[in-house]
Structure 1
């Protein structure tokens, strides 16, 4: 008995600052699409500058989902993302539009594309507070080294300074006695997926990231961080440890100069870019587009058209 082909999903990824958001809007307008953010920081309200959220103009041009949905001190887990992203994608498909999953958080993208089944382990608040105190005193990378000894496979999907995810992996290990990488299964994709990636030569990408950091400070990153702290969000809040806010928070507390905060933000961003590229190399299904080529958007459009033609043939549909 023949099965109905899975509905299409376009994934657009790439390193931070490479230009994913701009390309996503162009493609979504071309194909009656809607964008589902796969960015672990854009979910937080009131945090607009360092998270590089889409501009108000882009938000008007194309519907976006999973942006500005939780406050900065909320726990937002991978299962939360999977549940909300799945719901958004299904809603987009039911309305006859094409969903675009867009972002550089490969943990989120892999979970959706591979159908990860993540365990629902209740938080161990006392143990979590103990680990958070260790992070405050010694930094997240000390815990990362501990996790590497216990579960190196899990570390392949976690950034060394992402304290929240490191703590969660250790918490699951403590609660279940099993590695985090072992307790989730993969049920397989729920969609027919085309993966596109936007890329730049590494040094050019570093330069673009540095220019974007300068623009963030010109747009008011210091003032935005001060407002968040004055609102009552602690420096250890999940979102406040992210790129930009952690460094500026240290500046506002008098722990470093503004120039040092900028330099540390640049260093951390470059390291994040290197880690993203390590993740990308593990996925041979990504079709890479060179952002220096003048026709990269046309190349992406052609790839999507071919993909949809094949899906139309298999399903008897006509979405082009």
Structure 2
């Protein structure tokens, strides 16, 4: 069994859960949620929490972790989800991380490349000396040999960044071009996402919001408030919940509330796409492709 994580990520309403569950069934895996709203107990409708049927008999983790009154940080998630992934791997299974909270996924996959023990003044000085004694071109040639992608992005006379890229490679064994915003991989992974045309994704989002409201999202929020969940709790700041709170206060009509939830969800999806496009090695899949789960398992086994 490969000690590699499969990540199914991307924007909300793109079909991540169904793909992750099917891939987990094929690979013999377990799903690890990476959604900052699914960690809360009692928040079911507005989070599109997968039902028992949707989970397809696959064990799911990091769902219903804390009460809706609790604060929950990326650090909290990393500590718990990391332990879950390690346990799954120890049991010879594949962790299938599924979600759209970018910082959660980033915390599982990456660690910082620099800072503290990550930087080495002696290594940096070695490369700076090469630039002084042999010339910028000689230094740049060294970078091109070990990290051609980074070399393509830099000018040979940009000594500071060339030195940084070489330092990262020497200290971590990984190329700077493999990093995600200053982070380097902590463990092997394959990341995939569903690449819907914008119009189709927005249609799916609008339909999902309609279904949430039909399923009783307003009643869910009323029940949470009646149970003592304060409107200022972190859980109540999520899209869908904060808009319903405004509706319950009489600050907008039901149709306006619906429109605002849809608009805010579309904007969130756009931010998610921007974030995940920066994830090194991510494979964007065509949702119209037949048997996507089989394609994902092929990609996973091929690496």
RMSD over aligned CA atoms reads: 2.0
Residue 288 of structure 1 pairs with residue 288 of structure 2: no
Displacement after TM superposition at 1:299 (Å): 1.8
Q: Which has the higher mean CA deviation after the structures are superposed, 106-115 or 276-285?
A: 276-285
For the 8 Å contact 2:8–2:16, the answer to whether it is kept is yes
Show the counterpart of 2:87.
Answer: 91
Distance 1:116 1:83, change over 3 A: farther
Q: Which runs of 5+ in 1 are unaligned?
A: 118-184, 308-320
Displacement after TM superposition at 1:187 (Å): 7.3
For the 8 Å contact 1:13–1:20, the answer to whether it is kept is yes
**Count of residue pairs brought into register by the alignment:** 237
1:37-71 residue CA offsets vs partner (Å, 9 max, x unmatched): 11010000000011111111134610011000101
For the 8 Å contact 1:6–1:191, the answer to whether it is kept is no
- Structure 1 length normalisation: TM-score? 0.70
Distance 1:101 1:112 in 2: 9
Distance 2:95 2:112 in 1: 19
Distance 1:22 1:40, change over 3 A: same
Alignment of structure 1 residues 56-95 onto 2, 5 Å? 56-59=52-55, 61-95=57-91
For the 8 Å contact 2:32–2:60, the answer to whether it is kept is yes
- Structure 2 length normalisation: TM-score? 0.74
Displacement after TM superposition at 1:186 (Å): 7.0
Show the counterpart of 1:159.
Answer: none
Displacement after TM superposition at 1:297 (Å): 2.6
Displacement after TM superposition at 1:110 (Å): 1.2
For the 8 Å contact 1:37–1:67, the answer to whether it is kept is yes
Distance 1:116 1:34 in 2: 27
* Aligned with residue 210 of structure 1, among 191, 198, 206: 206
The structure 1 segments of at least 4 consecutive aligned residues displaced by more than 6 Å after TM superposition are: none
Residue 302 of structure 1 pairs with residue 261 of structure 2: no
* Aligned with residue 257 of structure 2, among 250, 261, 269: 261
Residue 278 of structure 1 pairs with residue 278 of structure 2: no
* Secondary structure class of the residue paired with 1:288: strand
For the 8 Å contact 1:82–1:111, the answer to whether it is kept is yes
Show the counterpart of 1:104.
Answer: 100
For the 8 Å contact 1:197–1:286, the answer to whether it is kept is yes
